Amino acid sequence: MFSTVNGMAVQPGDYDRWMDMHDEIKWTFARSMPGTPHYYMVKNKTVSAELYDLAFGVNRVWGEPGKFYSRTQLYLPHRDKEGVRYWLMDRYPTTAEILNMATDGKQYGVQDAPVTATDGWSEFDEIGAWWDFQYREVTESDRATLWKLVHGNIPVPKPSMIDIGAGTGTSIEAQAAASTSTLAIDPSRAMLNDLVLKFPQIKEVYPGTFQDWAEQADPDRQARDVVIASTGSARYLTPEEIRTAPTFARHLTLLSFYTETPTYRTSLPDTHEEALDTARSLPKAQSVTKGGWTYVAIP
């Protein structure tokens, strides 16, 4: 379990807690949008801040990406009530105040958003909704370093990418590759949900571990220009996953490790030392430490 900040976390039981509260909420009908009939609640006005924050976290973790015409939203279907679903007006927890609810299940536009649902619960689901705002330790200098390490070591100006432990999209933010040419792999639904909200152009998402994906993937058909495990994601890879990653890279594999133990805490298996030693032992591997990260580049 993570050591969390200011109560910014979601627990598995919060899903049922929210679903059981639907009938207790005073919903207001949105008269200003008769073409898309729905209801809403407002933080600190029609509901308490505590109840709204619960709804925010549950929606961001268990919501399903869907389209409202060109815009990507997270829609959370009610567990028992057919057609009822919820969505937020803002992905930023500091400014989000409205939660919407519709009862007809109607969809608008072509529904081509990627699927982020996973088979189980990831510890990163606890804090994924707040990751960018409270937990992520990445600076502009870190993003610049990531860009240089990628584009300084490959001959492709617009590379395609497999992003292992993609999280909320640091590698895309650093322009290591565009969202349209990225396969994002992550076992946390909450992290992937934030990723697709930030980058609605992304189409390829694998909600699971790199090992699970690699076992059914074909390197000859599914290789990309670059394989990246950024912002310390390589810390949690097994030695076998480290050795497998370069088989899917046409030009470069870039693995990132924390130089120090992260400030947040998790009981996830930490294979850091063994994974780092394995990465450094691969043919032509080069290691460099910049800021809070140790990068191993394998051409």
Domain check: are 143 and 49 in the same one?
Answer: no
The tally of domains found in the chain comes to 2
- Place 137 in a pLDDT band, splitting at 50, 70 and 90: confident
Domain check: are 68 and 174 in the same one?
Answer: no
Q: What is the pLDDT of residue 142?
A: 93
Could you tell me if residue 2 is inside a domain? Answer: no
**pLDDT tens digits, 74-107:** 999 999 999 999 999 999 998 999 999 999 999 9
Q: What is the pLDDT of residue 8?
A: 80
Could you tell me if residue 9 is inside a domain? Answer: no
**pLDDT tens digits, 2-34:** 566 666 889 999 999 999 999 999 999 999 888
Could you tell me if residue 118 is inside a domain? Answer: no
- Place 136 in a pLDDT band, splitting at 50, 70 and 90: confident
Full-model pTM: 0.94
Q: What is the pLDDT of residue 268?
A: 62
Q: What is the mean pLDDT of residues 251-273?
A: 78
- Place 119 in a pLDDT band, splitting at 50, 70 and 90: confident
Q: What is the mean pLDDT of residues 246-274?
A: 82
Could you tell me if residue 128 is inside a domain? Answer: yes
Q: What is the pLDDT of residue 42?
A: 96
Average pLDDT, the chain: 92
**pLDDT tens digits, 149-170:** 999 999 999 999 999 999 999 9
130 compared with 266, residue with greater pLDDT: 130
Among residues of the chain, what percentage have pLDDT more than 70? 94
**pLDDT tens digits, 221-242:** 999 999 999 999 998 899 999 9
Could you tell me if residue 241 is inside a domain? Answer: yes
Domain check: are 150 and 250 in the same one?
Answer: yes
Domain check: are 151 and 290 in the same one?
Answer: yes
Domain check: are 135 and 89 in the same one?
Answer: no
Residue 83 belongs to domain spanning: 14-102
Q: What is the mean pLDDT of residues 121-146?
A: 91
Q: What is the pLDDT of residue 261?
A: 72
Bridge-partner residues for 88, per DSSP?
A: 99
6 compared with 275, residue with greater pLDDT: 275
Could you tell me if residue 249 is inside a domain? Answer: yes
Could you tell me if residue 115 is inside a domain? Answer: no
Could you tell me if residue 202 is inside a domain? Answer: yes
